[in-house]
A and B are shown apart, each in its own frame.
Chain A
Amino acid sequence: MNPNGSISIHEQGIKSTHLRYISCASLTVLASTIYYIHAPVTQTVLQTTSRGGGLASPYDGFITGCAIYNRNTNGLTNNAPSSLFVTIKTQKQIDSPVDFFPFSRTAFVGWFSFRAMIGIGATGQFIDCRIPIKKGEVVEPWFVSGAFNSTPTSNLSEYNFVIEGR
């Protein structure tokens, strides 16, 4: 399909947006460790325990990908892949003083690398996926870091989950 060409009927009217998560404070990413990526994004850091900071999808549809952006100011590492997951929680009581999530599910998004390119300073990667999501459901991403040969230090990272739907 050409961006200047025709769009099939079933794709017309599909909207797209994205949910943005940022780890803004410098962090040494240890090998083979679970890190949670949080949505109160401006200057928070990856956490090894969940604070549950998710963002809600505005559409019924699919998570169709994740654009990942990594920068290590120090510490190069190899291409040992890290695995990205999302836990999707159903939002039941947004007006309640205490939200609870009786239903949640976890999906594998794909692999990505913490290897930063020398001379450029940041890597961009895009993972394709197709994970069903409904309007109002909350996306909480996390990853298991790879078995690096050396640890990426002073890591800053950004994760943009692309939502397509109606």
Chain B
Amino acid sequence: MNPKGSYKNSDNGIETQVLYLNYGATGGVSDLNPADNTFYVAHCSTWGSLPGVNSLGFTQASKSRLNGRIIGVSCSAWFTTTGSSLPVYVELYIRNANFPTTTSAGKKKRIGQVYWNDQFNPQPSFIPCDIPIKRGDSISATFLTPAWPTNPLRVNYTMQIFIEGRSTLQYPKKVQGLKNYDALWNCASNNALSDSTRYSFVQFNTPLTAGTTNLWYQVSPYTGFIEEIFYSCLNASGVQGSSELSELRVRIVDQKNPNLSGDYLAGYVSFDMPISTAITKFLPCEIPVRKGQLINLYFITGVFATNPTTSRMYAYAHIRGN
């Protein structure tokens, strides 16, 4: 396949998914002051939690929604104190969906290196790779630090992992070539969930919003359908909730034509995850959306026998359109 040439039939209909790994040093979590010769795990979320040391971090890993391959990683970092000119190795860990809680196994691939030696130049880079992955596999990334003469301080980084593949074996011709976009929400702060309450997904590591004011919207770049919602919820500590189901819903707001606004039920989710473990789930749906419309993702809790506490949530709506 030539990037400037024609596409084979077998290449048509290939989708892209992007996963985010971010860490920022302010806002209530500790600074990352990396030590020598140490693995740091970048969590596939934007919860802002401190990278774990010598931990594979799969309880917070995100999942591939595609059968395909990881084609590359975009990396960028900045910090307050510059380190020495030695490379930090970037590695990806991939874990099969059938073993979600074990921390010792998984595939590890070293894909390249980055430098944290110039605080005024984050040295953004695209590291190409070609790693097979299946739908439902968990992905984490680690940094393996060198033995720096001078260690960088207060490191902030971001990575975007790009996956290409298909969510089904083959798209029919009529939907080949449609484009993809993931509208993302993440809620970092701990929330105890009440019964029969509406909670809106928010952004920027803020708590879930109860009620119907101050809703947090994403905007759709394409006209098409929300075809899938990925939902992940972590119980960081506290009480494990019981398994009663809650409704996960989508509100579409058209700013120009209110008649096109509407509410849709995407599916049901539970919050009975064990402590320090995340529930991750794909909810297939078919919700029409137009370019420029606002999307609000929210859920209405059930009546819990035991209410879950300290829930951190992360979700995206996958839009497929033109």
B204, A156: Cβ atoms closer than 8 Å: yes
Q: In whole angstroms, what is the CA distance A123 to B179 when docked?
A: 23
> Provided the pairs A15-B16, A136-B126 are in contact, do residues A3 and B22 lie with their beta carbons within 8 angstroms?
no
Q: Does A16 contact B (CB under 8 A)?
A: yes
A124, B218: Cβ atoms closer than 8 Å: yes
Using Cβ atoms and an 8 Å threshold, which residues of chain A touch B100?
none
Q: Which of A77-85, A92-100, A102-110 participates in binding chain B?
A: A92-100
Q: Does B4 contact A (CB under 8 A)?
A: yes
Interface size on B, residues (CB 8 A): 82
Using Cβ atoms and an 8 Å threshold, which residues of chain B touch A91?
124-126
B12, A12: Cβ atoms closer than 8 Å: yes
Kindly provide the distance from the CB of A153 to the nearest chain B CB, expressed in whole angstroms. 15
Using Cβ atoms and an 8 Å threshold, which residues of chain B touch A111?
none
> Provided the pairs A12-B7, A55-B160 are in contact, do residues A68 and B126 lie with their beta carbons within 8 angstroms?
no
A43, B219: Cβ atoms closer than 8 Å: no
Of residues 141 to 165 in A, which have CB atoms within 8 Å of B's CB atoms?
A: 156, 158, 160, 162, 164
B76, A166: Cβ atoms closer than 8 Å: no
Judged by DSSP, the binding face of A is: loop
Chain B 14-48 interface mask (CB, 8 Å, partner A; 1/0): 11111010111111010000000000000000101
Q: In whole angstroms, what is the CA distance A6 to B174 when docked?
A: 5
A124, B16: Cβ atoms closer than 8 Å: no
A39, B176: Cβ atoms closer than 8 Å: no
Q: Which of B114-122, B134-142, B265-273, B276-284 participates in binding chain A?
A: B114-122
B179, A42: Cβ atoms closer than 8 Å: no
Chosen A-B contacts, 15 in total, with CB atoms closer than 8 Å, are: A3-B321, A11-B322, A16-B181, A40-B78, A43-B27, A56-B124, A56-B125, A67-B221, A94-B123, A94-B127, A99-B123, A120-B217, A121-B215, A125-B292, A166-B3
Q: Which residues from chain A sit less than 8 Å from chain B, CB to CB?
A: 1, 3-8, 11-20, 22, 24-25, 38-44, 51-58, 60, 64-65, 67-69, 71, 91, 94-95, 97-99, 119-126, 135-136, 138, 156, 158, 160, 162, 164, 166
Q: Which residues from chain B sit less than 8 Å from chain A, CB to CB?
A: 3-4, 7, 11-18, 20, 22-27, 29, 46, 48, 71-72, 74, 76-78, 85, 87, 112-113, 115, 117-118, 120-127, 156-158, 160, 162, 164, 173-184, 203-205, 213-221, 223-225, 253, 291-292, 294, 320-322
